[in-house]
Amino acid sequence: MSRYPRYDILFEPVKIGPKTARNRFYQVPHCNGMGHRYPSSLAAMRGVKAEGGWAVVSTEEVEIHPSTDVTPYNEGRLWDDRDMPYHKHVVDAIHAHNSLAAIELTHSGHHAYNGYSREPALGVVDEPIVDPLPVYARAMDRSDIKAFRKWHRDAALRARDCGYDLIYIYCGHGLDVRQQFLSRRFNTRSDEYGGSLENRVRLLRETMEDTLEAVGHDCAVPIRFAVDEMMGEDGLTCENEGRDVVEMLAEMPDLWDVNVSDWDNDSLTSRFGDSGFQDAFTGFVKQVTSKPVVGVGRYTSPDAMVSLIKRGALDMIGAARPSIADPFLPKKIEEGRIEDIRECIGCNICVTGDMTAVPIRCTQNPTMGEEWRRDWHPERIAAKGSDANVLVIGGGPAGLEAARALGQRGYETVLAEAGASLGGRVNRESGLPGLTQWGRVRDYREYQIQQMGAVETYLESRLSVDDVLGFGARHIAVATGASWRRDTIGRTHKYSLPGLNEARVFCPDDIMDGVQLEGTALVYDDEHFYMGGLVAEALVKQGVAVTLVTTASEVSSFTHNTLEQHRIQKTLLEMGVEIVTTHSLSSLSAGHVRIACGYTGREKEIAAENVVLVTAMTPSATLYKELQARQEDWGDAGIQSVTAIGDCLAPGTIAAAVWSGHRYARTLDAPEQEGVWFKREIVGV
């Protein structure tokens, strides 16, 4: 039970078919960019979740056959017996901490490119696959459906033999062929698997019956089901067919894991949705089934969790992103350490790992994805390696995390910040439209530092090179951040454009500093992440008429990887922003700019009283360079090392800055290593 009795309900056991979960915390399936290619990393990551108190720990989607090969994405595989050893490794890591292991068996149907297996794609009907590739799915006939049922049954048996406790029936996010059969937007068949809802649900029912018959005595069989496709009358909704499916199958599965589809709706960023927004869609499920129900909503507040259980909305608290930001969230609630929870900020940096086929990362949790290859644990860190003291210069995300982790190790640390508050770019960016929750990056670290006797913080303390040399610190970490360029140099232009001095030119730093523009503005986005769209949105809210010009083919193109590009572009269009794609700046002048088509080079002129350049950041590394130039003075000053970290070293995401600060703290006083300094998963030939 919890240290605080009001949370005891969260630690009650829950019966799930033949299995019992030790509490109500349930890590639902989530992708991670590791999958079958990085099994040791995967097992360690899932094991840490179990150690942190999640009673059920699930895999990512696991392919059941070569005809559902989603290469290049790093998902799970259980094609045949040869895949079983790594799954046993994952299961053992979860079971080591008395948690249940769940596997999400998947056939992606229209979403499977089969680029590695080169098998023909299978689908509900004859049509192109969902991804914009020259690949067509062929309609599954009766023999294909029979084969699919066998593949799924065989995979369920293998999963049981690997030791999994829960074996999923997947019908969510539009990513499984069973949901594609169920959905009217995919299924236009006229046989017994098409037409009426009863026919469209047939394959889902049949695979559930097959799985229950094959493994139901040994394993729980949950269903992961999207009750609403968020398409109105064009798809399933929680008010009509989505609810009807739940009522039809209400008592069949051992647990209902409910959400909305597609993935971009289920994993809505905090910029576009609040915690718990899915409650309005999934709340009915408990009314029509006696089986336990788990749902998600980016829940981080234990009081909100208790409310969900007590009012009968859910039986278990599901989480993907909050379990990534803090794998020990359940244990911290149990131990009464609520203030120590690293709350998810809903930025979806975690999703970018899967989308770019690299191991997962997290803005709040720099150890995510590093549990095995660097032996980083989210809660434990080695004690200090010496009695050296450390000066961290700069209180942005890198400096805050470095000071926090150094304090955790026991180093006497001083954090000097030039400004009046801690946070650096986090303070500035969290003031942009929709990014309020990003402030949690600052809040968590500032609170932790306040509890540490080893860390002293000084605000409004801008240091010169002589100040640093006279400070008496043995190690210096320079975390002075970066600033946005004002010279048009970025991805497209490697030089300043003509007329730069004639125009009224601004950068994102000015907008975040509260500079008020009047009249018209051209926002030039050559960076392609979130900043260009946010600057445009902020200016419209100031009353400025905005034209956004981007060298990409769409606004904020990298945000496809955070599942929000379409929402960003829709928001700007609805706000009246004029969008010009695939064009670059060619010259500037007072009141006008010229832009050039990226394909033809043809130029045209746009009137703009102000120009905001979103091109690139440059390190604010003057102090670091001055210290490097004074190395001959280090000995007299007692300095052993001066290290640039975060954006001062190389500008990037906030997640990268936090990771950089954490790595500095982890490796301080560690023996120097040559070659590759982290473990790699290399398969012998």
Whether 491 is in a domain gets the answer yes
With bands split at pLDDT 50, 70 and 90, how would you rate the model's confidence at 671? confident
What integer pLDDT is reported at residue 412 of this predicted model? Answer: 98
Whether 344 is in a domain gets the answer no
What would the two tokens of residue 298 be?
Answer: 């980016």
pLDDT (tens digit per residue) in 473-507: 999 999 999 999 999 999 999 999 999 999 999 99
CA atoms of 436 and 427, how far apart (whole Å): 9
Q: What percent of the chain has pLDDT over 90?
A: 94
Q: Please report, for the domain that includes residue 532, its CATH number.
A: 3.50.50.60
Whether 640 is in a domain gets the answer yes
CA atoms of 166 and 27, how far apart (whole Å): 12
Whether 245 is in a domain gets the answer yes
Residues 644, 599 share a domain: no
Q: Please report, for the domain that includes residue 660, its CATH number.
A: 3.40.50.720
Q: Please report, for the domain that includes residue 134, its CATH number.
A: 3.20.20.70
Range of the domain at 429: 390-481+620-667
Residues 626, 606 share a domain: no
Residues 429, 442 share a domain: yes
HSE-up of residue 221 (Cα within 13 Å, Cβ side): 24
Residues 593, 548 share a domain: yes
The beta strands (E) that lie in 81-221 are given as 100-106, 121-123, 127-128, 136-139, 166-167, 169-171
**Which of 287, 302, 317 is a domain's end point?**
302
Query: What is the number of structural domains in the chain?
Result: 3
Residues 136, 72 share a domain: yes
- Tell whether the model's pLDDT for residue 527 goes beyond 80: yes
User: What positions carry a catalytic annotation?
Assistant: 31, 170, 173, 266
Residues 236, 115 share a domain: yes
Residues 427, 511 share a domain: no
Residues 508, 417 share a domain: no
Whether 577 is in a domain gets the answer yes
Whether 361 is in a domain gets the answer no
Whether 72 is in a domain gets the answer yes
Q: What percent of the chain has pLDDT over 70?
A: 100
* Residue burial 415-424, b: 16+ Cβ < 10 Å; e: rest: bbbbeeebbb
pLDDT (tens digit per residue) in 124-175: 999 999 888 899 999 999 999 999 999 999 999 999 999 999 999 999 988 8
Rg of the chain over Cα atoms, rounded to whole angstroms, equals: 27
**Which of 591, 617, 643 is a domain's end point?**
617
* Nearest in space to 562 (alpha carbons), one of 275, 323, 363, 276: 363
What integer pLDDT is reported at residue 684 of this predicted model? Answer: 62
pLDDT (tens digit per residue) in 375-395: 999 999 999 999 999 999 999
pLDDT (tens digit per residue) in 75-130: 999 999 999 999 999 999 999 999 999 999 999 999 999 999 999 999 999 999 98
Candidate from 232-246, 509-523, 557-571 with smallest mean pLDDT? 232-246
pLDDT (tens digit per residue) in 544-578: 999 999 999 999 999 999 999 999 999 999 999 99
pTM, two decimals, is: 0.96
| Helices 397-409 + 654-667 axis angle, to 10 | 30
Whether 374 is in a domain gets the answer no
CB-CB contact of 644 with 658 (8 Å): no
Element (H, E) at 583: strand 583-589
First to last CA, the chain: 50
What would the two tokens of residue 662 be?
Answer: 């954490």
What integer pLDDT is reported at residue 685 of this predicted model? Answer: 45
**Cβ atoms within 10 Å of 683's Cβ, excluding its own:** 6
With bands split at pLDDT 50, 70 and 90, how would you rate the model's confidence at 672? confident
Residues 570, 550 share a domain: yes
Mean pLDDT computed over every residue of the chain? 96
Residues 252, 116 share a domain: yes
Residues 654, 572 share a domain: no
Residues 660, 604 share a domain: no
